[in-house]
Structure 1
C-alpha cells in the first residue's frame, strides 16, 4: 500500500486519466487503513461529471440540459487508503433521460459500483412544494468537535455544526475548506455529495466504541440542484432487532431541502459487547 500524503489541501490527487491517490484527509473513521466513503462518493460523482462533459464536447452539445436526480452506490468491501481507478460508462444515453455507471477499483478489485440517473429539467415552479421543513441557518448551530467522537483524517477536515435531539436523531451542517481533487474545479453535486455519507456519524444511536454500524450502500435522490458550501443533514437512525439498520436523511442547502439519502447498516457488537 502506498503512503498517502496530507498535501496539497485536497482529498485526492490525480495521478492519471482515471487514477487518483487519496491524501491523509480521506482517511476513514472505522479503520486507519481505509478511505471514508464521503470523499469517495464525491470523487465518483466528479469522475461522472468529467465523463459527461467529455461526451458533450465530443458531440458538440453546448450545455447540459439534464440534472442529476439519483445516484446510488454499492460498497463491495473495505476501500483501502491507496490509489484507485474509476471507469465510467454511459449505459443509457438520451436527450431527456440518461443512465451512467461508474466502477472504482483498487489493485484490480472492484470496491464500489455506482449508477446515476439524469433527467431533463422543466419549469414546475407553479406546483413545487415539500413537507420537509428547512433547517435553521448554519450560524444558528453550535460548532461540534466531531473528532472527539470519531477518528480519521476525513472527520478532522470538517467544519461541523450540530443539533442533537436524541440518540439516533440529529441535524447538522457540514463544510470543508479542502478541494476534492487538487487543482480541479468541482461541480456542485460532487462537492455536496462528498459530505453526505457523514450522515451515519452525526446521529449515533449507540457508542461506536461498543457497537459497529457501517453502511454498505448510499442512495441519494435530488429534487433540485444543490448549491453553496454547506451540506445540511437532518438525520434519523433506526436499528432493527436482527443486526440491520437504516440511516435516513433529508438533505439541505442553505436555501432549503434538496433531496433525501438512505444508507443500510450492518449492526454488530464490538468485542462481544
Structure 2
C-alpha cells in the first residue's frame, strides 16, 4: 500500500495483540466521559470473538449455524485500555448452540455477551412478518447528530436520517469506514453488530448535557443474516418516572427488516446540568 494511502486509512477500533488481547484506539472512545470506551465497538469485538470460536469449533460441518440472538450486559466502567476477551461454549450442539464471551480490563470483568446460534433451514415458503422497510440511505440526508456528543466513536460513524426526528424518535442509517480489528480477520456480522449500540444516541429524548441515559445492556434478535455496510434504525426511546428507560429499535439492512434491538437505560440528571 502506498504511504499516502496508508496515512489516509481510518484507524481501526481495536488492534489485536494476540492471545485474546486487544488495544482500543481513540476511535473507540465513548461519549459520556473522557477515558471511556464506547460499548458499540466492544460489542463488535465480543461478537468477533464468539464467531471466531464458533467457526473453529464447527469447521468442515455441512450445516451452518446462524446468529439468532446476542445479549450484552455491561458490568461497569469501560476504560479505554487493553481489553482481554475469553470465550467458552455454554451449550454445544449441531442445531442450536449457546456461546459466551467475557471482556475484562485491568483484571476486572466489564462486559459479558451470550449468543444463540441455530442451524440454517430453508423456511422461505413461510417467511413473513417484517417491519415496514426504511427509505434507502441515498434517499436520506447527512445528519449532524454527533454535534451534541463527545468521544471518538460517535464522530467515527456516518449517519443519515429522513428528517422525521422528534424527541425520542428517529429513523436513519449508520455505517463506518473504520475497521473493527487490525491484525485479525473478522466476520461481517461482527462489524455490523459493532454499530448497533449507537441506537441510543440517534433518537434522544433529552440533550446529554442535561440528562444522562447510558444503557446497561443491549439485546439483538435477528430473523435474517444482515448484509452490507449500512445499519438501518427505526428507534423509539421511552423514559419512565423513576430513572428507568428503554430504547427500542427495528433493525434493517438495505434489503429490508432483519430484527430488533432493545437497550435498558438508567436515566439521571447530568452533573453538568445547571
TM-score range, shorter chain: over 0.9
Question: 1:170·1:236 contact (CA, 8 Å) conserved in 2?
Answer: yes
| Aligned residue-pair number | 265
Deviation at 1:53, TM superposition (A): 2.0
The alignment partner of 1:246 has SS state of strand
Deviation at 1:270, TM superposition (A): 1.7
Task: Provide, for residues 176-213 of structure 1, a one-character-per-residue CA deviation record: whole Å limited to 9, x for no partner.
Answer: 11110014332121111000000000000011100000
CA RMSD in angstroms comes to 1.6
Matches within 5 A, 1:194-273: 194-271=194-271
Question: 2:10·2:177 contact (CA, 8 Å) conserved in 1?
Answer: no
CA distance in structure 2 between the aligned counterparts of 1:52 and 1:97, rounded to whole angstroms: 12
Q: 4+ residue stretches of structure 1 with deviation over 6 A?
A: none
Question: 2:97·2:118 contact (CA, 8 Å) conserved in 1?
Answer: yes
Q: Is 1:29 paired with 2:28?
A: no
TM-score normalised by length of structure 1: 0.93
CA distance in structure 1 between the aligned counterparts of 2:20 and 2:119, rounded to whole angstroms: 28
Deviation at 1:120, TM superposition (A): 1.1
**What residue ranges of structure 2 are gaps of 5+ in the alignment?**
1-8
Partner of 1:3: none
Partner of 2:5: none
Deviation at 1:125, TM superposition (A): 0.9
Deviation at 1:62, TM superposition (A): 4.2
Question: 2:71·2:220 contact (CA, 8 Å) conserved in 1?
Answer: yes
Question: 1:210·1:270 contact (CA, 8 Å) conserved in 2?
Answer: yes
Deviation at 1:64, TM superposition (A): 5.6
Matches within 5 A, 1:132-151: 132-151=131-150
Task: Provide, for residues 97-120 of structure 1, a one-character-per-residue CA deviation record: whole Å limited to 9, x for no partner.
Answer: 000011100011000011000011
TM-score normalised by length of structure 2: 0.93
Q: Is 1:119 paired with 2:118?
A: yes
The alignment partner of 1:147 has SS state of helix
Matches within 5 A, 1:81-230: 81-163=80-162, 164-230=164-230
Partner of 2:40: 38
**Distance change >3 Å, CA 16–CA 184, structure 1 → 2:** closer
